[in-house]
Amino acid sequence: MENRFSICDYLLYIKGTDNSRVVYEGEHVLNAGHIILCGVTNKEENRLTLYALCLQTSALQSAPHKIEGTLVHDDEKWVVEKFACSCKAGQSGRCKHISAVLLQCSRTSLDKLEAVSQTDIKCTWSAQKGKTQDKYRAIPVKEMPCIKQSDGMKLDEAILMGIHDNLVSKLPNSALALHKAGRRCTNLSTFENEEVFTPYDEHFKSRNAINFNDGIVSFSCKFHRFLL
């Protein structure tokens, strides 16, 4: 039988249940791989002094939190004597980082925890810092997997220009038409009388699309009824 810290004693010390915030947040921290060091600094017959480093959830590239604590073997089981963390809630002994460390002790045999020295403690973050920065490197939103998707169908440039010209000709008083005409243009009636023929017209007519004017009239009637 492996020498582990009991999950029941973990819950008893944390004073939580499976629905407690400190429990599920501690599990998330552990499963995310944020515990970068967990070892024994002092080992006696019935006492283990543990030291751990945990990445800061809100500042992953900053120096990690330091967790120190003692487990005592009493009546054939390990119990927590004391624990503290360098985070703001760490002095209570029951923050999510301590929760993550104790969960790891319940999953891994205490006999398999490596002995760590002060040199190991200093070198661990120096060695892990580069890997952490690469793993959690900030990237633009457009490069995220959820954004990087296929562009789908692309329209020809002539068709896009045709759409633009039709919008301007059919809506001569729109912001787009006014912007295209320029600030000094006062004769907007030229847009109403100008017949624009582009490849888009043939593409639009071939699909039996609705006429822009019909759509505008229909929208105007509906909007007028809405106001009444």
| Amino acid at the residue 179 | H
What pLDDT shows up at residue 31? 94
With both helix axes pointing from N to C terminus, report the angle between 21-31 and 96-107 in degrees, rounded to the nearest 10: 60
Instruction: Report residues of the chain scoring pLDDT below 50.
Output: 188-194, 196-197, 207-210, 212-213, 216-228
- How does the average pLDDT of the chain come out, rounded? 79
Say if residues 139 and 185 touch (Cβ distance below 8 Å): no
Res 149: pLDDT: 64
pLDDT at 154: 77
Tell me, what's the pLDDT at 219?
45
The structure's pTM equals 0.59
Give the angle 114-129-28 at the CA atoms, nearest 5°: 70
Give pLDDT tens digits for 123-155: 888 887 778 877 777 888 877 777 766 666 777
Nearest to 84 by CA among 49, 43, 129, 44: 49
Could you tell me where the beta strands, DSSP code E, fall in the chain?
35-43, 47-54, 65-74, 77-85
pLDDT at 65: 93
As to burial, measured by CB atoms within 10 angstroms (0-12 exposed, 13-18 middle, 19+ buried), residue 28 is middle
**The pLDDT of residue 195:** 52
Task: Specify the pLDDT at position 40.
Answer: 93
Residues 110 and 18: beta-carbon distance below 8 Å: no
CB 71 within 8 A of CB 50: yes
Check residue 180 and give its pLDDT.
Answer: 79
